[in-house]
Structure 1
Amino acid sequence: MFQKLANKYKYEVGLVERIKTVDLNTLQEAGINIVQMETVDLDGVLRGKFLPASKVKPDALGGFCSVVYQLTPSDDIWMTQHSSFENGFPDMIAVPDVETAIQWSWKPEIGAVIFDMQQKDGSPHPLAPRSVLKRVATRFAETGYQPVFGIEFEAFVMHRDEDLMAAGRHHEMKPFGQMRNAYRLNEAADVRDLAAAFITRMREAGIPVEVFHTELGYGAVEFALSPADPVRAADNATRAKTYFRQLCAERGLAATFMAKWKVGESGSGGHVHQSIWQNGENAFYGENGAFSSASLSYGAGLLKTMPDFSVIFRPNVNSYRRFSHKSWSPENASWGKDNRSAALRILGSQGRNAYRFEHRVPGADTNLYLSLAAMLAGGHYGLTHELSAPAFAEGNAALNTDFANLPKSLLEANRLFRESDIAKDYFGELFVEHYAASRENEWQHWLDWQAEQVTSFELNRYFSTL
């Protein structure tokens, strides 16, 4: 996909098909009655409001409660200095990004706009993931290189059963499709129809899908998005997840992007392909087809910062159930040429414009704004410190002791992030402390649940034997 991008946009790296935006001044003339206001929370989930089209203008500011960065996936609220009873849960200022305004082709009466969050003085809100990504991207621009990201998601799709889900019996839902094979075409008419509808919708929303196919597992699918600059790539990926869920719900289906939704099935990755460009050329490509010194320093920075940033790539308790090289989920901060057991898979066999790294650590449950910010921070650190690159791993990278191990639990990963001077430098101390607190809160919910359970393990082991 990077080859296609470079051929089509010689000197506009990061721009795929330009998003077909609508003018916020003429929404009603375009037939739009309702606008979906979109913003992202700490977990990478789109949240928002529904507004009359007459209320949405390029210069019309809105309000959004600051508690959005203190909501768990299940909407438990936790307190901090930023939003609490003490300060009254104040509003942030919501500013529409006019370049993200689209009209849904599948429901033409509805538009959607991504809003940035600001503080009362007009500065970017330090806890807003989109602001964090813009902060790091601006700093990366000092290198003179233009980063390009292509994101792919794996997900599982089931026939929706609200009663089973309400009872916590998700595993009893019938999977979508009759086969568990990757890249299957036999008996795949239902998958093909879903793929066609999704690809069409996303194209018309300015979010090109490069490929859609089945993966290993009953109901498993994967789709990859066209490369783009960091903010647009994160916008597209976050919207695509939400819009895919919406499409599935319309068809009586349920999609999950959990990192590991069922023991015995594959995990769901959220892999990120990346390269840097300069003067319309792929700067990863070096002399005589070797990887350039810039690419090696960029990659060395990714490897060095990977343990510190692991909680960004694996942000939930469930994320660590996917942690196993046996399912091609990396266990250490490694890299190797076309090696799926490594954290960074080095790819360059499809021509100079396709030289890139595939970052294989994140699951599909990650916040893409924060993941891309972490990768940009690592790449920037490597470039500006001119880090030397370690040798590529041969064979099973997980067995190579030359690379640092990645943390194996949410608690361990969170500690590294909170104590990381590099994280504080790039993300800001305020964000690091707040995000770390959010992960501690999630860990505590897990401990509280465990304390209230007598598990099947305990019953099977002790009921009749003690």
Structure 2
Amino acid sequence: MSNQPLSKDKVLQLLAEQNTEKVKLAVTDIDGILRGKMISYEKFVSIVEKGFGFCNVVFGWDAGDVAYDNSGYTGWHSGYPDATAAIDLNTFRQIPWDNDTPLFLADFRDSKGNDLEICPRSLLKKIIQQAGDKGYTPYFSQEFEWFNLIDNTDQLYAGNFRDTKPMTQGMFGYSLQRAAEKNDYFNDLFTLLKKFGVPIEGLHTETGPGVYEAAITYSEILEAADRAVLFKSGTKQIAHNHGVIATFMAKFNENLPGCSGHVHQSLWSTTKKQNLFYDKKTTTGMSSLMESYMAGQLACLPFILPMFAPTVNSYKRLVEGAWAPTTLTWAIDNRTTALRALPASSSSTRVETRVVGSDSNPYLAMAACLAAGLYGINNKLKLKIPATVGNGYADKKNGTLPKNLWDATQAMKTSPIAKQLFGAAFVEHFTATREWEWRQFSKVVTDWELKRYLEII
């Protein structure tokens, strides 16, 4: 990753100087899972400009590689042909835990060479362009909580997915003791991810057995989303090398806290390089632009929730009193509300969208945050909802969030606002994938049902 645009010649020069034999290429599917392949250096040279073919099944199957039966984009009816993936040279990184193998990210084009409407990274780029047309440069960052489990993959796949063991015991939030107990892993995360071009601003244990939280250093939004995607994938790989399973499920255990993926965001003037969310003349330090941005998110939240909470499991986290918001609320530095405003200074004033789960696709979560904020600015929305005082879970007068993936998906599917923000093609495809996810869950007989009904009914 470079701060300056990289040319083809510069990239090839760098790889040649390192006697590169192989290169990894990666794309992100609708669930935010990094998919990819390794190719020879010679093959990379031949596709670096024109792109490469990648089976479009990555948008035709779910997280478990089961093919959708409700996708118009691809399926058995299309024969799953290749789609063209275009390499973004500015994503160049070397993987420090894999012999410094070069890695590049790519996104997809349609048959006419335009950005593919259903590609998550392409969608984010479209929303970024809308911000740029108004003179805004968005700066974002995402922070993640995740559980770390002792790796017993063979037992899990033998049918014992309930038989998990946390890496450390006890709750121990912000514990130096627990971090020191897995010192090599803890330090490798910080050091190797920085070498990987994913700098960590802070890393600590969270409340729960084996839970860590990391805040990724902020950057321009596309780079921020790339970092977030690579953080999740990189963390899983580093964890594996330490005998650990890192899980970013939103709710790993019903008796333990859920895992968030909060998104921090601000808009800066592209020409003046000023934080447009800060206004020293107001009593709060918040500008009217920031208030409109927040008003837009509050107005759109009920119709874009699956982009923040994309799985059945996501909604096990979004329950009252569990450090995850359930109401359409905001306040200054209040962790019980959907939006947490943090007006501090010209350099740090920002808004934190706390609805986002750790299981989110960072490209879609950031696209949704930015698009909803721009909706508020474009429509000159006023922040009419008063700031919550005290417990945001109890402040239901302005509405609550959908309770499950089906309800949230139907709200998005039928929403003119969602189609206005993201385009009809994306909304149709994305909501179909979420309906599929709900259907897969709904037909499964769970252990809860067996324990409750097997003997007594």
User: Which TM-score bucket, shorter chain as reference?
Assistant: over 0.9
Q: Map residues 77-156 of structure 1 onto 2, 5 A cutoff.
A: 77-79=67-69, 80-108=71-99, 110-156=101-147
Looking at structure 1, the residues matched to 67 and 380 of structure 2 have their Cα atoms a distance apart, in angstroms, of 43
Looking at structure 2, the residues matched to 393 and 300 of structure 1 have their Cα atoms a distance apart, in angstroms, of 14
Q: Does 1:61 align with 2:51?
A: yes
276-285 or 207-216: bigger deviation: 276-285
Residue 377 of structure 2, aligned match among 383, 406, 410: 383
Q: Does 1:315 align with 2:310?
A: yes
Distance 1:457 1:451, change over 3 A: closer
Alpha-carbon deviation of 1:63?
0.2
One-letter code aligned to 2:402: P
Q: Does 1:432 align with 2:422?
A: no
One-letter code aligned to 2:370: L
Q: Secondary structure at the match of 2:303?
A: coil
Residue 182 of structure 1, aligned match among 173, 178, 182: 173
Looking at structure 2, the residues matched to 226 and 210 of structure 1 have their Cα atoms a distance apart, in angstroms, of 5
Alpha-carbon deviation of 1:174?
2.5
Looking at structure 2, the residues matched to 382 and 27 of structure 1 have their Cα atoms a distance apart, in angstroms, of 45
Q: Secondary structure at the match of 2:139?
A: strand
Q: Map residues 223-262 of structure 1 onto 2, 5 A cutoff.
A: 223-262=214-253
Q: Is the 8 A contact 2:97 2:238 kept in 1?
A: no
Distance 1:269 1:224, change over 3 A: same
Q: Does 1:393 align with 2:381?
A: no
Q: Is the 8 A contact 1:18 1:206 kept in 2?
A: no
Q: Is the 8 A contact 2:73 2:429 kept in 1?
A: no
Q: Secondary structure at the match of 1:430?
A: helix
> Over residues 250-295 of structure 1, what are the superposed CA-to-partner deviations in whole Å (9 max), with x where a residue is unaligned?
1111010000011111100000111111222211111335211011
Q: Secondary structure at the match of 1:224?
A: strand
Aligned residue number for residue 23 of structure 2: 35
Aligned residue number for residue 359 of structure 2: 365
Alpha-carbon deviation of 1:179?
3.6
Alpha-carbon deviation of 1:203?
1.4
One-letter code aligned to 1:362: V
> Over residues 172-209 of structure 1, what are the superposed CA-to-partner deviations in whole Å (9 max), with x where a residue is unaligned?
33311244211001243234332221121121122111
Q: Is the 8 A contact 2:179 2:186 kept in 1?
A: no
Q: Does 1:341 align with 2:336?
A: yes
Q: What is the RMSD computed on CA atoms of the aligned residues?
A: 2.1
> Over residues 61-97 of structure 1, what are the superposed CA-to-partner deviations in whole Å (9 max), with x where a residue is unaligned?
2101111112111110014232123322121111111
Tell me, which stretches of 5 or more residues in structure 2 are unaligned? none
Q: What is the number of residues matched between the two proteins?
A: 447
Alpha-carbon deviation of 1:404?
2.1
TM-score w.r.t. the length of structure 1 is 0.91
Q: Is the 8 A contact 2:199 2:217 kept in 1?
A: yes
Looking at structure 2, the residues matched to 88 and 33 of structure 1 have their Cα atoms a distance apart, in angstroms, of 33
Q: Secondary structure at the match of 2:35?
A: strand
Looking at structure 2, the residues matched to 328 and 18 of structure 1 have their Cα atoms a distance apart, in angstroms, of 39
Looking at structure 2, the residues matched to 374 and 265 of structure 1 have their Cα atoms a distance apart, in angstroms, of 28
Aligned residue number for residue 267 of structure 1: 258
Looking at structure 2, the residues matched to 103 and 449 of structure 1 have their Cα atoms a distance apart, in angstroms, of 41
- Percent identity over paired residues: 34
Residue 439 of structure 2, aligned match among 441, 444, 455: 444
One-letter code aligned to 1:383: I
Looking at structure 2, the residues matched to 295 and 232 of structure 1 have their Cα atoms a distance apart, in angstroms, of 22
Q: Does 1:76 align with 2:66?
A: yes
Q: Does 1:354 align with 2:348?
A: yes
One-letter code aligned to 1:429: A
Q: Does 1:325 align with 2:320?
A: yes
Looking at structure 2, the residues matched to 244 and 401 of structure 1 have their Cα atoms a distance apart, in angstroms, of 37
> Over residues 25-70 of structure 1, what are the superposed CA-to-partner deviations in whole Å (9 max), with x where a residue is unaligned?
5524313322111000000110011111221133142101111112
Aligned residue number for residue 6 of structure 1: none
TM-score w.r.t. the length of structure 2 is 0.93
Alpha-carbon deviation of 1:20?
9.9
Q: Is the 8 A contact 2:6 2:89 kept in 1?
A: no
Q: Is the 8 A contact 1:19 1:206 kept in 2?
A: no
Q: Secondary structure at the match of 2:172?
A: coil
